[in-house]
Structure 1
Amino acid sequence: MILNKSKISQGFILAGLMNLTVLVFSRFFTNSTINALDPDVMSNFGILMIVLWGLAYIAVATSYQKVKWLVLVFAIEKLVYGYVWITWMLKNSLSKVFEQDLMAGLFYSIYGINDLLFSIFFFYVFYGKMKSSVS
């Protein structure tokens, strides 16, 4: 599948907007359930960092061609969050999370899938930029 520059830019914006949804799920840093379930990664500081990563994706949406190595960093960052989510899922029960808080349940249900998909997207963009710079 070949994505044109416009679709790739839209992908960066979508990745950023998806990160910003953490503000909704965390009720703008007041949802203590999200914090308590993974205090190392999902503290309020961690949530703020997710917001900043999202803003970084949006910031390079139209200039990603010039920062291919940063795109690789984005891919690795998303892969790390995906890995953390998988290990979290293997040790926790989503049904218990939903019993505690609907927004936390929804958040923990989707964040890792989202991160893994965007990791693939960022790797795809990086690979395309590497390939085009070699040719």
Structure 2
Amino acid sequence: MNSNLIRNGFIAAALMNIGGVLFFSRVFTNDAINQADPVVMSNFGLLMIVVWGLAYLGAAFIKADLRGLAAAFAIEKLVYVVAWGLWMSNHSLGLVYEQDLFAGIFYSIYGLNDLAFMLFFAWVFMTGKPVERHEPR
């Protein structure tokens, strides 16, 4: 498994979480995102997405076995994919676009983005090799 690919994937996930939230929420001032899903996408929820991004960024530079961490990240992304799917099945994306273009784009893509990174993290978990551990003498 290519360590550069893994590091870059973790960095990309971080940039999408951090940059995506800050851009589309206009640094937490876009009320249309909050109003469309006040539970998952409250400003607190958006801040926690940024925090997850910081965790991905930190993990990108760990020189160790990342399988367990990647599994946790895959599960976290699965939760957001399910939340997005449920939201999409019960809400009108058109109404969000009418309220705010950035919010509409955000809700159009966040679940697909999380699905892609969920698959990436699951791949890291499934194909990763454990780091050899040597017992101290």
What TM-score do the two structures reach when normalised by structure 2? 0.90
Partner deviation per Cα, 1:22-46 (whole Å, 9 max, x = no partner): 1111111111110011111000000
* Consecutive unaligned residues in structure 2, runs of 5 or more: 131-137
2:16 pairs with 1:18: yes
Partner deviation per Cα, 1:86-106 (whole Å, 9 max, x = no partner): 110001111111110000001
Kept in 1: contact 2:66–2:125 (CA 8 A): no
Aligned partner of 2:44 in structure 1 is 45
Aligned partner of 1:127 in structure 2 is 126
Kept in 2: contact 1:64–1:71 (CA 8 A): no
Give the residue type in structure 1 aligned to 2:26: R
Superposed displacement of residue 67, structure 1: 3.4
Cα distance, 1:64–1:30 mapped onto 2, change above 3 Å: farther
Give the residue type in structure 2 aligned to 1:45: F
2:9 pairs with 1:8: no
- Report the 3-state secondary structure (helix = DSSP H, G, I; strand = E; otherwise coil) of the residue aligned with 2:41: coil
- Report the 3-state secondary structure (helix = DSSP H, G, I; strand = E; otherwise coil) of the residue aligned with 1:11: helix
What TM-score do the two structures reach when normalised by structure 1? 0.91
Aligned partner of 2:110 in structure 1 is 111
| Counterpart Cα distance in 2 of 1:79 and 1:68 | 16
- State percent identity of aligned pairs: 56
Superposed displacement of residue 58, structure 1: 0.7
RMSD: 1.5
Superposed displacement of residue 68, structure 1: 2.1
